[in-house]
Amino acid sequence: MGFADVASFARDRFVPVSLGIATVLLSLLGAAAAHAFSLDDVTARARALADRAYQAPVSNLPPAFSKMQFADYLRIQPRRDQFEWHDRDTPFRLAFYHQGMHFSTPVGINEVVDGQVHEIRYDPAKFDFGGMSFDADTTRNLGYAGFRVLYPINRDGVHDEIMSMLGASYFRVIGKGQVYGLSARGLALDTAWKDGMAEEFPRFREFWIERPKPQDRFLVIYALMDSPRATGAYRFVLRPGEDAVLDVESRVFLRGQINKLGVAPLTSMFLYGPNQGVRGNNFRPALHDSNGLAIHTGSGEWLWRPLNNPASLSVSSFQVTDPKGFGLLQRGHEFSRYEDLADRYDLRPSAWIEPRGNWGPGRVELVEIPTADETNDNIVAFWTPDVLPPKGQPMRHDYRIHWTMNEPALIEKDVGWVKQTLRTDGEIRQANLIRHLDGSTALIVDFEGPVLARLSPDAAVGAEVSVGENAELIENVLQRNPAIQGWRLTLRVKVKDPKVPVEMRAALVEGKRALTETWSYQLPAR
């Protein structure tokens, strides 16, 4: 019996409350006030879920919503005058996603006020259904599929969407002047484990969102994750700004056998770029949300892996103990790189994972999946530990995600980076100065950065290059590139078996001093 129940009992029966009882009641009240909702509460729920058999969510959608097309689903929009907290003294607003299509099961959403939890109940009045015709009774037992966070990031008084949580454990975040691109996830299970084996997609089944105080410029969100083989508790702290920052604390419990577990997974799209060539007669020079995987290893090495849209599934692993950072980046935000006014790929941010604490031995894995168009997210990157804990023992991974378009700021000041990778048919210049294609493949890699710009014109810069056994390196030319105050490396290789990929690595050095990150490229199989 709580304080309110005891007090009600006393009032109803006109029982005088003695000094001793009053002392007990005050202590109960103090204990209740002292307990604030926290990650520990969600962790306890996740632990309890892991001890029980998994129960798959059941769809509650009527046909009018389950059979709608994507264009119809987009017509259902939240009403701005019904945003959560629109009448509160806070710059944050919440808006909700309606159920529909494959978003077929409701997600619990709660508000935490002064440590106390209150359910945010579904209300169809919060939505503009865009002229859809349906029986109002069909929405009676529906719910929310997810939520959005809004904040005046670009202009004072104008609430723009800065975060979206919708579907499985996916979420996206943007900063000032950015548009949505790649996504993050809570967890990845058995991604590209074996051909024909389905990946498991854990889902956030319930959220708790702290109502921000008037002075708060951050938002705290808790999430409970569930899936057949894992459960998890998450705490997110969102900090809007020029670059958005999201702090993540995760506590994951294993329910069953996991073959490959992905921590801090990122999901993106790469259709083509100058390192792979334009497809067909397309005016866009590049079409992607990200164009490379960057890794800062525990030993201090920086790696850059340009992305590919392969002909068949490709999985690349980079052994990394205690990673200092990794991410899928969109390097190069000049509009001329994309020439797309409709989708503005030039404004799509990179996502950089910065681990907190030591994660131990493991590897960063890159999965590249063939795709014929830009509607499919075909790129996945995550860190996977070498050893998984026993059942009942939580895995703790804390990290910060930077959503940024200032990619050079992520790299240490004394390290140069790859500006671009260009791929073309290899050629030689004949005696008559006419270029002749000789059946080789050429890769042009431009390196830039302050450390290179400061070098004197006669600096003894060299290139350390390695090429896998399936190719012969027939040209290796390094020259200064004054247009970018950097250096251009031209490599020409002859592939022995085009059905087998070729691994290549290159970095610039001055004597024994490394000047740049390592360009780690895979020439995909054809």
If pLDDT is split at 50, 70 and 90, which confidence band does 134 have?
Answer: confident
Which range marks the domain in which residue 179 is found?
63-410
- 3 versus 403: the higher-pLDDT residue is 403
* pLDDT tens by residue, 352-378: 999 999 999 999 999 999 999 999 999
310-324 average pLDDT score: 96
The Cα 415–Cα 451 span in angstroms is 6
192-to-100, 253, 312, 438 alpha-carbon distances in Å: 28, 21, 12, 37
Q: What is the pLDDT of residue 23?
A: 45
Residue 394 within any structural domain of the chain: yes
144-167 average pLDDT score: 97
Same structural domain, 370 and 460: no
Residue 305 within any structural domain of the chain: yes
Same structural domain, 199 and 312: yes
Domain boundary among 386, 410, 434: 410
**Tokens, residue 374:** 């830009």
Q: Is the pLDDT of residue 8 over 50?
A: no
Same structural domain, 391 and 433: no
497-516 average pLDDT score: 96
If pLDDT is split at 50, 70 and 90, which confidence band does 203 have?
Answer: very high
Residue 504 within any structural domain of the chain: yes
Same structural domain, 115 and 192: yes
17-31 average pLDDT score: 44
431-456 average pLDDT score: 90
227-247 average pLDDT score: 97
Q: What is the pLDDT of residue 3?
A: 30
Same structural domain, 203 and 302: yes
Q: What is the pLDDT of residue 417?
A: 98
151-156 average pLDDT score: 96
Q: What is the pLDDT of residue 428?
A: 79
If pLDDT is split at 50, 70 and 90, which confidence band does 32 have?
Answer: very low
Same structural domain, 296 and 221: yes
Residue 178 within any structural domain of the chain: yes
8 Å CB contact between 389 and 254: yes
* pLDDT tens by residue, 205-235: 999 999 999 999 999 999 999 999 999 999 9
Q: What is the pLDDT of residue 138?
A: 78
Q: Is the pLDDT of residue 239 over 90?
A: yes
If pLDDT is split at 50, 70 and 90, which confidence band does 13 have?
Answer: very low
Q: What is the pLDDT of residue 382?
A: 98
If pLDDT is split at 50, 70 and 90, which confidence band does 31 have?
Answer: very low
Residue 50 within any structural domain of the chain: no
294-319 average pLDDT score: 96
Mean pLDDT of the chain: 91
Tell me how crowded residue 427 is: count the other CB atoms within 10 A of its CB.
Answer: 15
Q: What is the CATH number of the domain that holds 369?
A: 2.70.98.10
267-276 average pLDDT score: 96
**What angle, 0 to 180 degrees and rounded to 10, lies between the N-to-C axes of helices 19-34 and 3-12?**
150
8 Å CB contact between 420 and 484: no
Q: What is the CATH number of the domain that holds 440?
A: 2.60.40.10
Residue 282 within any structural domain of the chain: yes
The Cα 296–Cα 411 span in angstroms is 9
Largest CA distance in the chain: 111
Tell me how crowded residue 356 is: count the other CB atoms within 10 A of its CB.
Answer: 13
Same structural domain, 210 and 308: yes
Q: What is the pLDDT of residue 280?
A: 78
Listed in sequence order, the DSSP H helices in 292-421 are none
- 33 versus 375: the higher-pLDDT residue is 375
Same structural domain, 367 and 221: yes
Q: Is the pLDDT of residue 282 over 50?
A: yes
325-334 average pLDDT score: 98
User: What end-to-end distance do the CA atoms of the chain give, in Å?
Assistant: 71
Domain boundary among 391, 410, 429: 410
Q: What is the pLDDT of residue 432?
A: 73
Q: What is the pLDDT of residue 96?
A: 98
Same structural domain, 400 and 451: no
Predicted TM-score (pTM) of the model is 0.91
Q: Is the pLDDT of residue 7 over 70?
A: no
Domain boundary among 356, 381, 410: 410
Residue 333 within any structural domain of the chain: yes
Nearest to 349 by CA among 294, 406, 413, 302: 406
Same structural domain, 272 and 382: yes
Residue type, 184: A
If pLDDT is split at 50, 70 and 90, which confidence band does 196 have?
Answer: low
* pLDDT tens by residue, 55-76: 999 999 998 899 999 999 999 9
Number of structural domains in the chain? 3
The Cα 402–Cα 410 span in angstroms is 9
Bridge partners of residue 447, in order along the sequence? 418, 487
Q: What is the pLDDT of residue 4?
A: 36
Same structural domain, 380 and 284: yes
Residue 338 within any structural domain of the chain: yes
183-198 average pLDDT score: 89
Q: Is the pLDDT of residue 257 over 70?
A: yes
Same structural domain, 430 and 403: no
